[in-house]
Amino acid sequence: MARTVPALIVGLLVVAAGIGLVTLRVNPYLYFAGYVILQYVVIATAWNILGGYAGYVNFGTPAFFAMGAYTSVFLIQSTRAPLPVLILAGGLVSALLGLGIGYLTLRLRGVFFSIATLALSIVLQTMIMNWEYVGGSRGLSVIRPSGPPFGNYVMFLFTVMVTLAVIAVVTARFIERSWVGRGLAALRDNEEAAECMGVPTLRLKLFATTISGFLLGVAGAPFPYYVTFVEPNSAFNLDYAVNALAMPMIGGTTSWVGPVIGAVLLGSAQQLATVTISSEMNLFIVGIVLVAFVVLAPEGLLGLVRRLRGR
């Protein structure tokens, strides 16, 4: 616990640095790209709480992300709620979805769980596509609120995402170091053995799926204001599922640093590739890097570093 306080201070410093960066007013594109990278930090960290710590591979990342985004769309349409409310509401809706997924783990393990999450994503997408109020399959334009507290709206969203990323990472780090993290690691390695040793596996799994869902929803909630046009195919994009897997796999899944490293490296590489080559090429790179890492360096970059140090 004693090491949580310094971590919080570091986190606050990162937020402050993010706000400082905004006052510098560098090239506006950097905020635009930075937002996406930070969004992936949140997504990868959230995915890793379930996938890396508990060993349940979630292919349904787009479902949770889009639930956050569409909760925002609904609230913007109905009440024009302020951004903090949107983020909280988006997180809560996705957390509920996560809780539901958590109960699925009672019957479904391993591959079946993963396929069920993928199924969930497509069922939800079909429902959204048939719901006209939030735009249906054609999508919907969202008007940003006028007068952000500082800078332009993208800069404001950038600092919001910095804050969310710090919250996500601090949460993941806290879970990892607490008894919850150790319990999750135990059930990842052998669920029956953990249960026999008195680890409350169901409660831990429900906790992991709910927190993971909450953070994924939080990442999706500001999305409508960022893109200003929301349609199901972009909100439920399979790219989120692939990136959410690839980033922790590249960094290393057993520690909170892994997803952060993976998200920053792969996220930046993708942004560069999108600008310099093409957006399809950047997806190709993600696929190749994912397969290469999973075959050649299954422990990710952290594992590679550890192996080099060990020698």
Partner 1 sequence: MFSWDLLANAVVSGLLLGGFYAAVSLGISLIFGLLEIANIAQPAFVVLGAYAAYVLNNAYEVDPILTGLAFTPVFYVLGAVVYRVYYESFERRGDEALRGLVFFFGLLFILEVSLSLKFGVDYRLVQTAYTKTSIEFGGVGIAFRYLVPCVIGVAMTLALYLFLSRTFYGRAIRAVSQDQQALRLMGVNPIQIKTIAFGVGIAAASLAGALLICIAPVIPSTDRDYIGRMFAITVLGGMGSIGGTLVAGIILGVAESFMATFFGPSWSLAVSFGILLIALAVRPAGLFGR
Which residues contribute to the site for partner 1 (CB under 8 A)?
55, 57, 59, 104, 107-108, 110-112, 114-116, 118-120, 122-123, 126-127, 129-130, 137, 238, 241-242, 245-246, 249, 280-281, 283-284, 286-288, 290-291, 294-295, 298
In the complex with partner 1, which residue's Cβ is closer, 178 or 278? Answer: 278
Least Cβ distance, residue 253 to partner 1 (angstroms) = 9
The residue (of 26 and 288) whose beta carbon lies closer to partner 1 is 288
CB of 244 to partner 1, least distance (A): 11
Pair of tokens at residue 208: 């992991």
Q: Which is nearer to partner 1, 121 or 159 (CB)?
A: 121
**Cα 225 from chain centre:** 17
CA pair distance 238, 218, nearest whole angstrom: 18
Residue 152 CB, nearest distance to partner 1 (Å)?
33
Closer residue to partner 1 (CB): 4 or 130: 130
Distance in Å, CB of 282 to partner 1, minimum: 9
Residue 270 C-beta: closest distance to partner 1, Å: 13
Which residue from 204, 183, 180, 203 is spatially nearest to 194, judged by alpha carbons?
Answer: 183
Nearer to partner 1, 89 or 246 (CB): 246
How many of the other CB atoms lie within 10 Å of CB of 302? 19
Q: What token pair was written down for 131?
A: 């719901």
Nearer to partner 1, 40 or 156 (CB): 40
Close Cβ partners of 295 (under 8 Å, ≥ 6 residues apart): none
Smallest CA-to-CA distance from 36 within 292, 253, 272, 200 is with 272
Which residues, in sequence order, are CB contacts of 293 under 8 Å at separation 6+? 246, 249, 250, 300
Distances from the Cα of 189 to the Cα of 10, 35, 60, 164, 205, angstroms: 32, 35, 22, 30, 13
CB of 193 to partner 1, least distance (A): 16
CA–CA gap between residue 261 and residue 134 (Å, rounded): 35
